[in-house]
């Protein structure tokens, strides 16, 4: 239990809160910090999108400054920047990772890896903001707004953001660091108006804390704005070529923007991502793409939000609470033809531009009678299918039992979001229970041989439980017997010592053949043999190797004698009797002792005598 947990500052990253908490509680090593915060020493803290937030809140206990997982996401992470443009199903899966996972696969699920804008998160800071934070609050912390993907300058002070990358070095990825306190001012940069618009949009989007926007509603809003600008026909056909030209002109071909090549795509179809943003609303496109379009169509996030609300009211959108969904709302557009019960579902779909399946689902939610298929989907059959779906039965089994198509079962499932959510939770729990039973069976059969024997029989099973059910796994592993290894050593140290000592002679011989070689030190010999760590750890078991190293390694004085010999031999090809200063310069030895000078003179004399 931590003794003190500081309250998060305005616009502070959770990574920064963790760093300040570790510092003020003197937690020590990074692994100790991760154990204190997340219950595991192997966690690597994420800067922008951390996982395991429910575990973190439980570890804080009564000192937690956050009300729930959503409160942490909204106040101390970058998820509000990505959330509005995620399909609702992906949002639910992301929430599961945020609550109980470790963050693995999160950015791939959100589409940030595939979108090509870079998924790595480097820490950035403004020197002026750091100094002001210290003067006002007496502490340093990382700002969320400085670490957004599209922000490279501080909008408050008009300077370039500095980048801190030491935490990305291998071996330091668990370290929790605070921004450095630098002195001096940075030169203000010329404000590029279009890039400034994108940075403002990014920060406004982060602070708006929008819920996931229904893909159908978002498409309607985009199309209405495009229609107002003359870039969409009355038949809802978008003029993509004209739209691409206008967007390129508005943002000046994204000049000086770091992702210019990615945005311009190809010469054959520039701004290919515009088609995906408008026409393929089910795809998880990067917020940068949406923000460029929103900036062009609406100018600000506030205006975009107002248009969303107006469109919701004008089209009589029905809002249905979805449990366990980040207190969000699932929005569906109701065309007047959908509410007209006198029209068939097929006719209503044709007039509204929606699929027949969507019309059927929406009418069922609104309680409008739908002509049932004779001998198939009577109300009692639908109720029975709903009951089977709620119990977690497989889709194909349900379809076979009730003599309906699999498509019909999926249609009924999609029309009831409560059952869909319960089914997801039930399937997750069933999977966890099945994995537990399999692991318990392995322990029953192999537990007497120790934990390593159990793991060897179920490596994939152990990995899944370690990621998703670690506390239960640790408690269950206590049932394994502790196996103590006794008896004859598995390593023949006598043979190994003899082999290494014999190899020293061979390795040194190969080294001495090199014309321009480095000093043959003990470390270099061991590195060539690949047993440097082995000798340090088991020095008493390798006496022959130690003796061979003493015999065949060179001291610094012996190596300098070799350099003198090599220098004199090379100079004799040009000079009959090279001067001492030339020998010293050619040998490249910095500090010449009397012994070295005397040896150089004697060796020169002997070589000159031989040559004459």
CA 126 to mean position of chain CA atoms = 24
Q: How far apart are CA 557 and CA 564, in angstroms?
A: 11
Q: How far apart are CA 579 and CA 575, in angstroms?
A: 9
**Count of other CB atoms within 10 angstroms of residue 441:** 11
- Token digits of residue 49: 């999108």
Q: How far apart are CA 595 and CA 236, in angstroms?
A: 93
Contact 529, 507 (CB under 8 A): yes
pLDDT digits (tens, 9 = 90+) for 562-591: 999 999 999 998 888 899 999 999 998 988
pLDDT digits (tens, 9 = 90+) for 169-202: 555 678 888 988 765 555 555 455 556 788 889 9
Contact 110, 284 (CB under 8 A): yes
Look at the block and give the residue holding tokens 């109300």. 379
Q: How far apart are CA 547 and CA 58, in angstroms?
A: 58
pLDDT digits (tens, 9 = 90+) for 198-215: 888 999 999 999 999 888
Higher pLDDT, 186 or 381: 381
Mean confidence (pLDDT) of the chain: 83
**Count of other CB atoms within 10 angstroms of residue 546:** 16
SS (H, E, C) 22-80: HHHHCCCCHHHHHHHHHCCCCCCCCCCCCCCHHHHHHHHHHHCCCCCHHHHHHHHCCHH
**Integer angstrom CA distances of residue 545 from 41, 360, 510, 537:** 38, 82, 18, 13
Q: How far apart are CA 409 and CA 386, in angstroms?
A: 9
**Count of other CB atoms within 10 angstroms of residue 593:** 11
Burial of 569 from C-beta contacts in 10 A (0-12 / 13-18 / 19+)? exposed
- Token digits of residue 24: 């003020």
Domains of the chain, by residue range, sit at 14-163, 213-315, 336-366, 379-482, 493-554, 557-610
- 558: confidence class by pLDDT, cuts 50, 70, 90: very high
- Token digits of residue 378: 């009577």
- 485: confidence class by pLDDT, cuts 50, 70, 90: low
Nearest CA among 102, 121, 123 for reference residue 113: 121
pLDDT digits (tens, 9 = 90+) for 492-541: 889 999 999 999 999 999 999 888 888 999 999 999 998 888 888 888 99
Q: Report, as an integer, the average pLDDT of 481-490.
A: 66
325 has a pLDDT exceeding 70: no
pLDDT for position 596:
92
Nearest CA among 245, 299, 301, 313 for reference residue 274: 245
Contact 331, 322 (CB under 8 A): no
Look at the block and give the residue holding tokens 């820490």. 123
pLDDT for position 330:
38
Nearest CA among 201, 419, 457, 206 for reference residue 322: 419
Q: How far apart are CA 352 and CA 336, in angstroms?
A: 8
pLDDT digits (tens, 9 = 90+) for 127-171: 899 999 999 988 899 999 998 987 888 888 888 888 886 655 555
Contact 133, 139 (CB under 8 A): yes
Count how many Cα atoms sit within 13 Å of the Cα of residue 34 in the half-sphere of its side chain.
Answer: 18
Name the percent of the chain lying above pLDDT 90: 25
Nearest CA among 344, 347, 355, 327 for reference residue 414: 355
pLDDT for position 173:
76
């Amino acid at each position: 239990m931590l003794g003190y947990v500081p309250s998060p500052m305005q616009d502070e990253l959770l990574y920064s809160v963790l760093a300040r908490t570790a510092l003020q509680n003197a937690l020590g090593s990074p692994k100790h910090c991760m154990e204190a915060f997340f219950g595991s020493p192997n966690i690597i803290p994420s800067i922008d999108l951390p996982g395991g937030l429910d575990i973190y809140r439980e570890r804080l206990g009564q000192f937690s400054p956050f009300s729930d997982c959503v409160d942490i996401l909204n106040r101390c992470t970058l998820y509000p920047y990505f959330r509005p443009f995620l399909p609702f199903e992906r949002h639910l899966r992301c929430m599961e990772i945020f609550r109980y996972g470790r963050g693995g696969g999160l950015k791939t699920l959100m589409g940030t890896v595939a979108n090509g804008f870079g998924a790595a998160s480097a820490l950035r800071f403004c020197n002026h903001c750091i100094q002001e934070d210290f003067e006002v609050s007496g502490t340093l912390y990382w700002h969320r707004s400085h670490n957004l993907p599209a922000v490279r300058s501080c909008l408050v002070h008009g300077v370039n953001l500095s980048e801190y990358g030491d935490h990305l070095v291998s071996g330091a990825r668990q370290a929790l660091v605070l921004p450095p306190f630098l002195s001096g001012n940075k030169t203000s940069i010329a404000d590029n108006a279009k890039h400034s618009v994108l940075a403002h949009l990014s920060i406004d989007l982060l602070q708006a804390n929008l819920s996931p926007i229904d893909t159908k509603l978002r498409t309607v809003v985009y199309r209405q704005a495009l229609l107002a600008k003359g870039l969409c026909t009355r038949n809802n056909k978008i003029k993509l070529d004209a739209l691409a030209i206008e967007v390129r002109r508005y943002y000046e071909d994204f000049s000086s923007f770091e992702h210019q090549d990615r945005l311009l795509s190809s010469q054959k179809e520039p701004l290919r991502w515009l088609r995906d943003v408008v026409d393929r609303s089910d795809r998880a496109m990067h917020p940068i793409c949406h923000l460029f379009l929103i900036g062009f169509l609406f100018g600000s996030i506030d205006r975009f939000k107002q248009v969303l609300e107006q469109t919701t009211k004008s089209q009589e959108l029905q809002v249905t609470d979805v449990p366990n969904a980040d207190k969000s709302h699932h929005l569906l557009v109701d065309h007047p033809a959908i509410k007209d019960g006198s029209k068939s579902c097929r006719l209503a779909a044709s007039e509204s531009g929606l699929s027949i399946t969507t019309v059927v689902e929406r009418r069922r939610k609104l309680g409008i009678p739908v002509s049932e298929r004779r001998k198939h989907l009577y109300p009692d059959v639908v109720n029975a299918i709903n009951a089977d779906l709620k119990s977690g039965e497989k889709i194909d089994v349900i379809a076979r039992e009730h003599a309906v198509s699999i498509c019909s079962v999926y249609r009924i499932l999609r029309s009831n979001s409560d059952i869909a959510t319960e089914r997801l939770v039930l399937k997750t729990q069933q999977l966890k229970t099945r994995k537990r039973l399999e692991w318990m069976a392995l322990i029953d059969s192999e537990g007497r041989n120790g934990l390593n024997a159990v793991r060897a029989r179920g490596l994939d099973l152990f990995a899944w439980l370690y990621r998703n059910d670690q506390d239960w796994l640790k408690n269950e592993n206590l049932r394994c017997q502790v196996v103590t290894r006794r008896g004859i050593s598995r390593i023949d140290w006598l043979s190994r010592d003899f082999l290494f000592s014999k190899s020293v002679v061979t390795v040194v011989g190969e080294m001495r053949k090199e014309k321009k070689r480095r000093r043959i030190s003990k470390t270099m010999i061991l590195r060539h043999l690949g047993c440097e760590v082995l000798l340090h750890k088991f020095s008493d078991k390798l006496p022959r190797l130690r003796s061979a190293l003493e015999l065949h390694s060179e001291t610094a004085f012996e190596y300098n004698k070799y350099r003198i010999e090599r220098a004199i031999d090379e100079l004799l090809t040009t000079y009959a009797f090279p001067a001492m200063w030339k020998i010293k310069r050619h040998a490249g030895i910095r500090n010449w002792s009397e012994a070295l000078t005397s040896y150089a003179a004697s060796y020169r004399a002997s070589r000159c005598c031989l040559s004459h």
